Amino acid sequence: MRIQKTFQWLLCLGFVFTSIHADAQTPAAKKPRVFKAGAAASNITPFIGAGIVGGFTTPPSTHIHDELHARCLALDDGETRLAFAIVDSVSVNREVFDEAKRLVSEATGLPRENMMMSATHTHSASSARGTNAFVFEKSLDDYQSFLARRIADGVRRALNNLQPARIGWGAGQVPQHVFNRRWLLKDGKTSVNPFGEQDRAVMNPGNRPDLLKPAGPTNSEVYFISVESTNGRPIALLANYWLHYVGGVGNGHISADYFGVFCDRIQELLGADRQDPPFVGVLANGPCGDVNNINFTAPREKHAPYEKMKIVANDVAQEVLRVRKTIRHRDWVELKSAQAELELKMRHPTPEMLARAQQILARPATISPAHRLEGTYASRTVAAAKWPESISIVLQTFRIGDLGIAAVPFETFTETGLEIKAKSPFKDTFTIELANGGYGYLPTPEQHELGGYETWLGTNRVEKDATRKIMAKLMELFARLK
C-alpha cells in the first residue's frame, strides 16, 4: 500500500513538472490589441489690440468675433502614439512648434517625431511669426511663448483623454468653393511686378475680359479621419480641405475663419454637443497656395460679414457627414511615423535687385510707384539679403492603416499635393500644409517660370527646385512606413 501511494505521488509530481515545462514552452497569450483616441482644444486667443496679420499691413484688433484654438487629436495603437495639433494662425514659426513639442515630450515621453503641428492659415489672427516675419529669429516673443505652452497643453490633454476607440476615414467632393487664383492672360499678355519685371501669371486678376485660363489645377476633395468610442460616441473628426482662407470678417476682428466655423458645424451635425470629454472638430489646410474661393469667370457675389465662410464651412461639413455615414470604423489599425530634416538653399537678391530696392526706399514719397507693392517688396528684398544661405526644414509622413498623410512646412501649390497623392504607396493619401513651420509659398519650377505673386522674392524664400527635393524626400519617408 505504501509503495503504491508513493508511486501515485511520483506520478502526480511528474505531471506537475510536465505541466510546468509545457507552460514554459508555450508562448504567452498575446494581449488583445486596443486602439485608443483622445482629443482636446486649447484656447490661444490673443488680447484685443494685438496686430492682425494676413495682409500687407498689421492693424490692431478691436474685437474678438470668435476664439482661436489649437485643436488636438491623439491616436494610440498599443505600440505607437501619434499626436496632431492644428492651430488657428496664418503661419507659425518652426521655433514655436519645436518648443511645444519639447514641452510635450518632456512631460509625456512622446517622441517629437510622432507629433505634427500645423497652422490653418486664417488671415484674421495675430502673428505667431515674431516681430518681423522676414527676419529669422530664434527667441520667442510673448505671444509665441504663450502659444507654444497652450499647444503643448492641448496635446497633453488629448493624451490624457485617450480611451478605447474605433477609427475610419473617407473623402467627399466639394468642388463649388475651390478656384485657382493664378491666371494666364490672352495673347501672351504680361503684367508688371514690384521688381519691374513682367509676369505671365496674375494672382486674383478680377473679372477682366482678357483672362485665358487658370495657371494650375484645384482639388475638390475633402478628406477626413473620424474617431469614435467603442459604443459609437463621436470623439473627434479631423478634416483636410485644400482651400485658402475665406475671409469676409468684420473690420478689426479676430476670427478663426471658416476653419473654426467648420469645427462648430460638424460638432452640431454629429449631435456631439455637451459631451465629457468634449468632442473636437478639426480642419487642417491642404495644398492651396494657389487656390481661393473666388470664381473670376462669374460676377463677384456680395456677402455680409461671415456669411460666405458659413456657406463654405456648412457645405464641407455636410459632405463630410454624408460620407461618414458610409464608412466603416475599424477596431484597430497600425500607426507609424517617419521624419527627416531637409536642407534647402535660400533665395537672395542679385546686386541689381538690391540696388533697385535701396533706390526705391530712398526716393521721396511724392513719386508714384510703378507697382502698388513696390515699396513693400523693396523692404523685403533688403531683408532677404541678410537671410542665411540655407535652412533645415522638417518633413513628415504618417501611416494610419492604409491611409498616408504628408506634412510640408509651406503654402504648397495644389499640383504638388496631387503629385504627392499620385506617387504615394498608400491607397489613400492627403497632405497638410504649413506643418512644423512656415516658410512662405512653394511654387513648382514651372510656376516660377510664369511669375506672379507667389513666386516673388519675399513671398517665396527657398530655391526654385525645392518642390522636387521635397517630393523625393517624402517618397523616401513613405517607403519607410510601407
Q: What is the pLDDT of residues 196-236, one digit of tens each?
A: 999 999 999 999 999 999 999 999 999 999 999 999 999 99
* Same domain, yes or no: 377 and 455: no
Is 66 inside any structural domain? yes
Is 291 inside any structural domain? yes
Is 106 inside any structural domain? yes
Q: How far is residue 45's CA from residue 473's CA, in Å, rounded to a whole number?
A: 35
Binning pLDDT at 50, 70 and 90, where does residue 115 land? very high
* Same domain, yes or no: 339 and 354: no
* Same domain, yes or no: 354 and 228: no
pLDDT at 5: 45
pLDDT at 3: 43
* Same domain, yes or no: 61 and 174: yes
Q: How far is residue 396's CA from residue 341's CA, in Å, rounded to a whole number?
A: 9
**Based on the structure, what is the number of domains in the chain?**
2
State the burial class of residue 80 (Cβ atoms within 10 Å of its Cβ: 0-12, 13-18, 19+): middle
Is 372 inside any structural domain? yes
pLDDT at 1: 44
* Same domain, yes or no: 370 and 402: no
Is residue 215 within 8 A of residue 191, CB to CB? The reply is no
pLDDT at 26: 46
Structural domain boundaries, residue 366: 348-384
* Same domain, yes or no: 355 and 262: no
Beta strand segments in 133-270, E = 163-173, 179-180, 182-185, 191-192, 198-199, 201-203, 211-214, 221-229, 234-241, 253-254
pLDDT digit string (tens) for 12-51?
444 433 443 444 444 556 678 999 999 999 999 999 999 9
Instruction: State the average pLDDT over residues 170-186.
Output: 98
Look up residue 245 and give its amino acid.
Y
pLDDT at 134: 59
pTM above 0.75, yes or no: yes
Is 157 inside any structural domain? yes
**Residue 133 clears pLDDT 80, i.e. is over it:** no
